[in-house]
Amino acid sequence: MATISLREEAVELLQELIRLDTVNPPGNETQAAELLRDYLTESGVMCDLYAKVPERANLVARIPGRGGPRLALLSHTDTVLADPVEWQLDPWSGELRDGEVWGRGALDMKGQVAASAVAVASLAREGFEPAGDLIFVAAADEEVGVEFGLSWLCKQHPEAVRAEYSLNEGAGDRIELGGRAFYLLSVAEKMSSPFHLRVRGRSGHASMPGIADNALVKAAALIERLGEFSPEPRLEPEVAALFEAVTGAPPDDAEQVLEVARAVDPLAAELVEPLVGMTVSPTMITASQKRNVIPALCDVTVDCRLLPGQTQDEAEEVLRGLLGEGDYELEWMEGIGGTRSPMEGSLWEAIGSWVAETEPEAGVAPICLAGFTDSHWLRDAFGTIAYGFFPMRYMDAQVATRLVHSADERVRVDDLELGVEFLRYAARAMGGG
């Protein structure tokens, strides 16, 4: 391999990854897994591909350790779709322009894939000997999650991905709160618990509405109640720890959380608001298939997110109290995530040490994700202490949030280089030789 900087190495690998169309569905992640395998084996890294079907392979690479705690660098190679009409540049160009690499997946999350691979490859070239295995997982199927990716690996090949610690996407953004810089560190995730409401009525000809019982109209009243829902606030450990980091102490009670957050900064309130209780967002509705037929059935799909540890039974009691009696059925579609990791231990300390050395005036602010990542599969399967942290200092966090899953997605090369530096630091801090 020609002598180039790790910065250039990461940029080139990211560009190659972006030029592979791994939009899920259908995914076709094998092409990315094979690219990463070929790149890593050149540096002497052990690599295996695991695939439920040939075109959707997962890559697991490893630097063997000395029997100590294992650290897994998690990532996924699939992306959401992209409409080239909405973009300034071809979404699969991987073009480098003004210090930024453009393309679908640059932020979510081929940038972190490339940085993780470069970190592992460079450590292997240096003869790095970790205390426990350093594992790099480039999984398929995170964006849809239909048992081709990490969930499948945990069930079918558990020893390939078993680890005591892991680092994944989810946070790392540098933000300013109360006049001080903080790097967000995700330590927990809400549970995705969408549900269906099936509202029943009686059909009839639309020209004679009085003879029917319109399920769509009845559903409208229920949707309004869901839209007006405000949960009874709860002060969860992650939110309390966030306030402790920012203000020195958590609020006295849960009722004060949003008020205190607004006093600190509007961004703090934006971060905290979905974390004080369950959220419900009606998103889809189907009723009559003909303009002149009053529907007897109306199906409403509701995105619902529960706090870590909150059960669907508990949530359903709240929802039925909100909706009241009526001709409807409530059915949960799934319950995925809702896990948390302790805010202590060697990986926690390693992240704090890196921030202190890199930007001494900055702090670390724990956060619970309103959404979820693949981290919960490792927490559920192995009790892994899993954090979301990939530092981003140079691109404004709010700009990056708007670009994820949107047009003109791009990543700053400075942040890509920062990510490589952090991952190398974390691997060494966890007991490298």
* Residues that are catalytic: 78, 142
DSSP string, 216-284: HHHHHHHHHHHHT--PPP---HHHHHHHHHHHSS--SSGGGHHHHHHHH-HHHHHHHGGGSS-EEEEEE
Q: CB-based burial of residue 3 (10 Å sphere; 0-12 exposed, 13-18 middle, 19+ buried)?
A: exposed
- Cβ 298 vs Cβ 287: under 8 Å: yes
Residue with tokens 């180039």: 4
The b-or-e profile of 82-104 (16+ CB within 10 A means b, else e) is beeeebeeebbbbbeeeebbbbb
Distance CA 19, CA 22 (A): 9
> Any idea how long the chain is?
433
Q: What is the DSSP letter of 164?
A: S
Find, among 328, 298, 303, 325, the residue nearest to 315 by Cα.
303
Beta partners for 97?
Answer: 100
DSSP string, 55-117: TSEEEEEEE--SSS--EEEEEE--B----GGG-SS-TT---EETTEEESTTTTTTHHHHHHHH
Give how far Cα 190 sits from Cα of 53, 95, 292, 336, 368, Å. Answer: 30, 35, 42, 9, 7
Give how far Cα 78 sits from Cα of 56, 197, 295, 334, Å. Answer: 10, 31, 39, 22
- Cβ 219 vs Cβ 286: under 8 Å: no
